């Protein structure tokens, strides 16, 4: 019998406007879906709710994993907002709750920020009754008031004011980085003046209907059964942790946290390396990798040269190992292997292609380049095995370890979900092994806690944690299971 206590972590602290819905539906939406925080009803509540991020990203809606609440980003209190944007195609996106306003009303936003580059801005975002942006024709460019964050190691105070345009009924704050620029920025202490203290956030009827429908479908799919089906043997788990690179001469503190945690529990894992920063690897960074490699608990594998996307002549954005010529892909692998041997003292035995862009993340040229490398033995396939994967496995040079989409650390990139993981695991009781992908640099304390819960559950299931190469060797010539996700 699985015994667990699930807590819904709300993303927005919203009160409900008066709508003609049944008490039962209202209760469901209010308590389970929207997770309205009681602080939103306080008579002296500061606008916006959770403007200091002390409750992580509660009351904020994020559309990616670039935005996270972390202690290192705090100017005051325990937490602050950190935006890490390393994607040259997609920008970050974080919205506050929406608040009621009237045309002609003036609102002023103040906050503090610091940034390592000029890549991000904060917007005042007016919406109509349908929740769509209302542009002010008097404002050039995007038609909305915004303030760009300047490069500064120190905290700077920013303000931006807007007069609500005709047709707008609400206002929210949008923290957004531009698609072609990258960097890291911290934010804290958002205060929105011009709206009465204690004003409750808004949610429209259309938002309620769409959210309730999506939540009901998701809840049914991710429902944890009362009992986990028995297995013929304990599951074999390969932890596939992506995107290690040197940052300011060291491994990012998120990597230290996850590596130390797993080592404390004697759990083996695989860490994917972005190799370009090995060119300038400091002794501290190289030693950090070597010491964990030598412990036998971590296999470092080839993930990417730069993890950058690129554009075709027709403007389509593709990931690093999709669409490039065989010669280009072979060179990226060769440069990475050379640096691994020079800086780390070992060659990569495993490959897992990076994401990004809008393509497949790997192609026939990738397969040819990887199959010709004398050191590579394992391919961490990014999907349930397909025709190309079967062809690679049949050739015999590489062992292909494929994925079950329903069983993963993260529900979406950077967002671990214990509930989704257990639900998917229960539906795949006949699967011998699982490759579980995660991105530790995106995990704030709440997300890391979800990861810990997944590890605790797997330990209860008597899971066997192996590195990719260890499991490939254990197969002893057996073909990797070709079980598609369910």
Which of residues 20 and 103 earns the better pLDDT score? 103
Residue 15 resides in a domain: no
Considering the chain, what percentage of its residues have pLDDT values greater than 90? 62
The answer to whether 236 and 432 are in contact (CB under 8 A) is yes
pTM of the model: 0.60
- Domain limits for position 150: 23-221
Q: Quick check: 188 and 53 in contact, CB under 8 A?
A: yes
pLDDT at position 214: 53
Residue 25 has a pLDDT of 42
How far, in whole angstroms, is CA 431 from its chain's centroid? 26
Tell me if 418 sits within 8 A of 454, measured CB to CB: yes
> For the domain that residue 53 is a member of, what is the CATH number?
2.60.120.260
Final residue of a structural domain among 221, 254, 272: 221
pLDDT of residue 281: 96
Count Cβ atoms within 10 A of the Cβ of residue 377 and give its class: 0-12 exposed, 13-18 middle, 19 or more buried.
middle
What's the pLDDT tens digit per position in 93-150? 899 989 999 999 999 999 999 999 999 999 999 999 888 899 998 898 778 999 999 9
Coil, helix or strand at residue 215: helix
Residue at a domain's end among 163, 189, 221: 221
CATH number for the domain harbouring residue 293: 3.20.20.370
Q: How far is CA 4 from the centre of its chain?
A: 25
Please state the domain count of the chain: 2
Using 50, 70 and 90 to split pLDDT, how confident is the model at 482? very low
234-251 tens-digit pLDDT: 999 999 999 999 999 999
Q: 261 and 198 in one domain?
A: no
Phi-psi region of 339 (alpha: psi -120 to 50; beta: other; left: phi over 0): alpha
What letter would DSSP give residue 263?
Answer: H
Residue 356 falls within a domain, yes or no?
yes
Q: Residue 311: which H helix or E strand, with range? A: strand 310-311
* Contacts for 298 with CB less than 8 Å, ≥ 6 apart: 259, 268, 269, 270, 271, 292, 467
Shared domain check, 370 and 335: yes
Residues 210 and 245 placed together within one structural domain of the fold? no
pLDDT at 220: 57
- Fill in the DSSP letter of residue 112: E
Mark whether 246 and 393 lie in a shared domain.
Answer: yes
């Amino acid at each position: 019998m699985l015994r667990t206590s699930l807590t819904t972590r709300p993303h927005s602290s919203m009160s409900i406007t008066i709508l003609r819905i049944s008490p039962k539906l209202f209760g469901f939406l209010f308590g389970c879906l929207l997770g309205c925080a009681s602080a939103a009803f306080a008579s002296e509540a500061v606008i916006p709710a959770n403007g200091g991020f002390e409750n992580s990203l509660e009351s904020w809606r994020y559309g990616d994993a670039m935005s996270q609440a972390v202690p290192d980003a705090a100017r005051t209190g325990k937490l602050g907002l950190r935006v890490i944007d390393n994607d040259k195609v997609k920008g970050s996106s974080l919205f506050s709750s929406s608040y009621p306003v009237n045309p002609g009303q003036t609102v002023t936003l103040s906050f503090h920020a610091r940034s390592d580059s000029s890549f991000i801005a904060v917007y005042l975002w007016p919406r109509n009754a349908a929740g769509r942006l209302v542009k002010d024709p008097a404002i050039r460019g995007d038609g909305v008031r915004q303030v760009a964050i300047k490069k500064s190691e120190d905290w700077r105070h920013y303000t931006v004011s807007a007069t609500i345009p005709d047709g707008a009924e609400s206002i929210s704050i949008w923290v957004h980085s531009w698609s072609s620029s990258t960097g890291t920025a911290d934010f804290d202490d958002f205060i929105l003046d011009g709206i009465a203290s204690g004003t409750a956030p808004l949610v429209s009827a259309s938002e309620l209907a769409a959210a309730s429908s999506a939540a009901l479908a998701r809840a049914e799919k991710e429902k944890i059964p009362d009992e986990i089906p028995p297995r013929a043997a304990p599951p074999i788990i390969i932890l596939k942790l992506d995107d290690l690179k040197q940052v300011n001469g060291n491994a990012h503190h998120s990597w230290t946290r996850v590596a130390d945690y797993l080592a404390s529990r004697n759990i083996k894992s695989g860490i994917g390396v972005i190799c370009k920063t090995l060119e300038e690897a400091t002794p501290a960074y190289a030693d950090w990798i070597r010491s964990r490699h030598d412990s036998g608990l971590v296999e470092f594998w080839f993930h990417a040269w730069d993890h950058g996307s690129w554009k075709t002549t027709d403007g389509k954005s593709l990931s690093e190992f999709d669409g490039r010529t065989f010669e280009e892909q072979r060179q990226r692998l060769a440069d990475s292997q050379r640096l691994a041997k020079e800086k780390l003292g070992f060659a990569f035995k495993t490959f897992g292609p990076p994401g990004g862009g809008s393509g497949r993340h790997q192609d026939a040229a990738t397969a040819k380049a990887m199959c010709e490398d004398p050191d590579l033995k394992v391919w961490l396939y990014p999907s349930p095995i397909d025709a190309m994967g079967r062809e690679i496995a049949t050739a015999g040079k590489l062992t292909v370890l494929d994925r079950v989409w329903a069983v993963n650390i993260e529900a979406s990139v950077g967002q671990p979900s214990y509930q989704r993981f257990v639900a998917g695991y229960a539906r795949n009781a006949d699967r011998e092994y699982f490759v579980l992908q995660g991105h530790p640099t995106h995990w704030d304390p709440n997300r890391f806690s979800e990861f810990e819960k997944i590890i605790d559950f797997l330990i209860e299931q008597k899971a066997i944690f192996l590195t990719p190469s260890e499991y490939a060797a254990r197969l002893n010539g057996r073909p990797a299971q070709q079980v598609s996700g369910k």
